[in-house]
Structure 1
Amino acid sequence: MESRPGETTVPDPKPVVGAAELRASLKHLRTEVRGAVFVVKLLLCATITAGGVLLACQGTPWARIPGVVLIGCMFAHAAELQHETLHNLAFRSRRANTVAGTVLGMPMLISFAAYRTAHLRHHRYLGTPSNREFFDYGDQYGREGERSRAATALDWLTRFTMFHHYQLFLANLLRALRGREFSGETATVSRRIRRDHLLILLGGAALAGLSLLLGQAVIVWAWLLPLLLVAAPVHALIELPEHHRCETLNEDPFANTRTIRSNRLMMWFTNGNNFHVEHHVMPNLPIERLPDLHAEIRGRLRYFHTGYLDYFRKLLSG
């Protein structure tokens, strides 16, 4: 198999057994979902976010700038926690996953219902022309062939501003306000998507009201600036390695997905997203067990990096 410059691959990997057979051979890794673990994750995220808000609402740049950065990073982290709820892996209760996932997605304008539906389709259709992801970055997986510098710069600008995501949110918000159905979705899913968009609108209105009440631009410093300047590019950076420049028309998860073995801080911050091949091999495996799955299948990985710095260094030099 031919690899891209700088890409760490396993040469001529053995043929992968069928998905069902592979998962059956790894069933010993399955454990019960532990809601207490996710509660700790939520509390830690909320505590750091609160600290960021306190800093961002101070009157001096030395406090506001790190506050905005902290809040934005926690918005991106919350989106990774939300991913866990999409698969009902945060709590045993489906309702608890829905409530937690809905709240976690609000800062980044992410509808839980829309994301869940699109994400499960992504798992179903990855490796086929029908695959679509919830977050549209424009140049989703890396275009082949020569491109002008201007076109390449526009691709990266579109990705890191998450322009298409915000554009879609506004379009869907208008649809929700008009009580319209969402194309390709059932009436039930459409109703849930409308609910999520209206909740986000109410949350924004509440922050605007608080800003007026306090006579401070709380909505700007504690939400808009962290969202646009920090959360969007950070989230795009987290998701970029997942399938970018992999064999995305190959249904084998070892061919269409990338894993990055990182340090404990990044494993926490990305909520295990670095073990992305492992997640696609066993989507319903609790996040805490992904390192164990990694140990089992390490020898089969085709797209693998020893850390995020290693990945981005090779991406920029490749």
Structure 2
Amino acid sequence: MTNAPRITAKPFHRGQAIEWPTLCLAVVIYASWGILTVWHAAIPLVLLVPAAAWTIAWHGSLQHEVIHGHPTRWRAFNRALGFVPLSLWIPFARYRTMHLCHHRDERLTDPLDDPESHYFTEADWMRLSPLARGLVEAQTCLAGRLVIGPAWSIARFLWSEGRAILSGDRRLAVIWARHALGCAVLVAWLVFVCGMSPLAYLAIFVYPGTALLLVRSFAEHKAEGVVSKRTAVVEGSPVFALLFLNNNLHAAHHAHPTLPWYRLPSWYRANRASLLDGNGGLLYQGYGDVFRRFFVAAHDRPAHPLGRAPTTPSGGGSVPA
């Protein structure tokens, strides 16, 4: 079996201290969130819900950029920019740690080593109750992931974090204490400035916004023995590409994770043939294609088909992270 071509990505060197496209985007996102919360009562729900969901999902994409070292040379400023907890349920510091762990490409999709994996080991899968297995299986199609996924993901994450803190993880407790302070400020803004119920905020902003982010993550990885074949590409989606900051070109992002979002498309075009050869042609022609294939059909089975991701790629080279 021939080896998949190895993509060599030159290290990204920021030409200026500030990446203005990303900083301007951050201003737009936070200004949009402020406008939507302050004037929420005057905006019809049919317009408010999609705008709110877009803003929360867009903010998640911005946080992803910050995790990878953007938009300035000043780490403290970048982290302050990403810290604001618009989604409430995940501390930025935890997102950062887990996502960087996810970028160990040799462990992609592994149910134990990849924090962003949706797979289970066979043993863990069999330990789930019939109800839990049913809820997980419902999320193997996109319809189930959108409806059940936010509640399942949030509850499972909070349960895991709570158990770790109660077990004595002081570092995690400090992270959550800082996050709770940020959430308290945000809730105070909602209640005392905007006159908005926190429950309404969860229903209008957080849940739909989290569901929208799950559209991106739904089909971007699949369990395979060959590392380079685990990461997909979605082309031809200009609207979603803007929302996800070109992270739909996911194989390109994993090959060159430090490249800023606005430079990723040109790098992808220059390396498209090699990337698609390397990932076995795991390509979708827009998110409409993803919806058509998987809206009611399963993307994969919940138990990892290989048990766990192989430590050494079998029969192919890896796309370097």
Common fold: TM-score over 0.5: yes
CA gap of 1:137–1:191, structure 2 versus 1, over 3 A, is same
TM-score w.r.t. length of structure 2: 0.72
Q: How does 1:125-136 map to 2 (within 5 A)?
A: 125-126=107-108, 128=110, 130-134=112-116
- Partner of residue 241, structure 1: 219
What's the CA shift for 1:249?
4.3
What is the aligned counterpart of 1:35 among 19, 29, 37?
A: 19
- Partner of residue 40, structure 2: 56
Say if 2:251 is the partner of 1:273: no
Bigger CA drift: 111-120 or 258-267?
258-267
Check conservation: 2:111, 2:118, Cα contact below 8 A.
no
CA gap of 1:31–1:260, structure 2 versus 1, over 3 A, is farther
User: Per-residue CA shift, 1:253-273, capped at 9, x if unaligned?
Assistant: xx0111111343222111111
Q: What is the rounded CA distance, in whole Å, between the counterparts of 1:49 and 1:38 in structure 2?
A: 16
Q: What is the rounded CA distance, in whole Å, between the counterparts of 1:219 and 1:283 in structure 2?
A: 35
Check conservation: 1:55, 1:67, Cα contact below 8 A.
no
**Paired amino acid for 2:290:** Y
SS of aligned partner of 2:219? helix
What is the aligned counterpart of 2:90 among 110, 127, 135?
A: 110
Residue identity over aligned pairs, in percent, reads: 20
Q: What is the rounded CA distance, in whole Å, between the counterparts of 2:202 and 2:163 in structure 1?
A: 20
Q: What is the rounded CA distance, in whole Å, between the counterparts of 1:78 and 1:208 in structure 2?
A: 21
Bigger CA drift: 87-96 or 273-282?
87-96
Say if 2:138 is the partner of 1:153: yes
- Partner of residue 207, structure 1: 190
Check conservation: 1:49, 1:74, Cα contact below 8 A.
yes
What's the CA shift for 1:127?
5.5
- Partner of residue 316, structure 2: none
CA gap of 1:179–1:102, structure 2 versus 1, over 3 A, is farther
- Partner of residue 169, structure 1: 158
**Paired amino acid for 1:251:** V
- Partner of residue 74, structure 2: 93
Q: How does 1:6-17 map to 2 (within 5 A)?
A: 15-17=3-5
**Paired amino acid for 2:46:** I
How many pairs does the alignment contain?
276
SS of aligned partner of 1:27? coil
Task: Give unmatched runs, 5+ long, in structure 1.
Answer: 1-11
Task: Give unmatched runs, 5+ long, in structure 2.
Answer: 298-321
- Partner of residue 30, structure 2: 46
What's the CA shift for 1:72?
2.0
CA gap of 1:37–1:229, structure 2 versus 1, over 3 A, is same
- Partner of residue 195, structure 1: 178
Say if 2:205 is the partner of 1:227: yes
CA gap of 1:288–1:200, structure 2 versus 1, over 3 A, is same
What's the CA shift for 1:171?
6.3
What's the CA shift for 1:111?
0.9
**Paired amino acid for 1:121:** C
